[in-house]
Amino acid sequence: MPILNKLMDIKGGGTLEKRIEISEETKKAMLKLQQNEITEHAIYMNLAKRVKKQSDKELLERIGREEKMHSKIWEKYTNKKLKPQKFKVYFYYFLSIILGYTFVIKIMEKGEVVSQQMYALLREEVPEANKLYEDEQGHEYALINLLDEDRLQYVGSMVLGLNDALVELTGTLAGLSFALQNNKIVALSGLITGISATLSMASSEYLSARSEGNVNAKKSAFYTGIMYIVAVILLVLPYLLFPSHKYVHALVTMLITVVIIIFAFTYYVSVAKDLPFKKRFLEMASISLSVAALSFLVGVLVKQFLGIDI
């Protein structure tokens, strides 16, 4: 399908009209890219409104303006004005409140693998496609790596709290499950242990950060404590939901919850910090489940040899 592309006539001061033959498949690809660019422009500008750090705000606005510029270039070829997809804009805004804007932006950029395939298709027919592709791959990625979100500075504290909670509490609950064989008593014991451990870990992280001269020791302690208590609640919850005698069901559900938590958190960190996912996930999951298995065995042995029956 021929598309009329208007070019500036530098000598005459007017415009030159150049017809470019573009296939239907290519036009569909351009419309999709145009839609992506204008939607991402709205997402970046929306995120910039809630970012307090001035340098990050300016970076997001800059990337947003570039996305709009790219959209305008595609508009020359498609001759269509498109509006941002509101649902996508609001969804990413909501996600940024929960997981942070760095995570959301990197998720968006990872999703542009499809766009790479489209650019490969367009290069032969659209002269400007190559430059736009280079912009997407190089410039924006470099800008995104300059983002310095506050919460990502405390990933170490978050990992410490979550990892310690999963290993310690998984083992405790697994051991108590067979030793006590009563979900209510296991839940009570788990909550007492978990809350005490949360306070202990948070205070230890605070003292450790203070001794290292960290001026944000309170924030480090907060992130450690909040991750610990969240893990405690999620792991104890199955024992509160199942009837008292169904301790095996509660144990299995708890172990599945552990794997889901590890998967979700490892994925979050791997995306936000550009770290390998598979190795970290398998390592953390194997440690937690191994401790649970050993603790369950200890519970069996203690009940057997001490002859305790509750």
Location of structure tokens 């990892």? 163
Chain centre to alpha carbon of residue 303: 42
Nearest 5 degrees, angle CA 214-CA 105-CA 68? 130
d(CA 67, CA 61): 10
Location of structure tokens 């650019």? 119
Between residues 276 and 257, the one the model is more confident about:
257
Nearest 5 degrees, angle CA 149-CA 155-CA 156? 140
pLDDT at residue 149, rounded to an integer: 65
pLDDT tens column, 157-214 = 777 777 778 877 888 888 788 778 889 999 998 899 888 888 888 888 888 878 877 7
pLDDT at residue 42, rounded to an integer: 93
pLDDT band of residue 146 (cuts 50, 70, 90) is: low
Between residues 76 and 140, the one the model is more confident about:
76
> Distances from the Cα of 234 to the Cαs of 11, 140, 210, 244, 264, in angstroms?
71, 38, 30, 18, 13
179, 303 contact by CB (below 8 A): yes
Among residues 257, 140, 106, the alpha carbon closest in space to that of 190 is found at 257
Task: Look up the pTM and report it.
Answer: 0.68
Which helix (DSSP H) or strand (DSSP E) does residue 151 occupy? none
d(CA 140, CA 273): 17
pLDDT at residue 9, rounded to an integer: 41
Per domain, the residue ranges of the chain are 2-147, 151-306
As a whole number, mean pLDDT of residues 118-131 equals 68
Among residues 240, 169, 173, the alpha carbon closest in space to that of 200 is found at 169
Contact residues for 138 (Cβ-Cβ < 8 A; gap 6+): none
pLDDT at residue 87, rounded to an integer: 92
Which helix (DSSP H) or strand (DSSP E) does residue 9 occupy? none
Whether 11 has a pLDDT exceeding 60, the answer reads no
155, 104 contact by CB (below 8 A): no
pLDDT tens column, 28-54 = 878 888 888 899 899 989 888 888 888
pLDDT band of residue 240 (cuts 50, 70, 90) is: very high
Phi, psi of 277 (to 5 degrees): -90, -55
Question: Rg of the Cα trace of the chain?
Answer: 27
Neighbours of 69 (CB within 10 A): 13
pLDDT at residue 56, rounded to an integer: 81
pLDDT band of residue 5 (cuts 50, 70, 90) is: very low
Q: Which CATH architecture has domain 2-147?
A: Up-down Bundle (1.20)
Which helix (DSSP H) or strand (DSSP E) does residue 159 occupy? helix 155-180
Between residues 310 and 120, the one the model is more confident about:
120
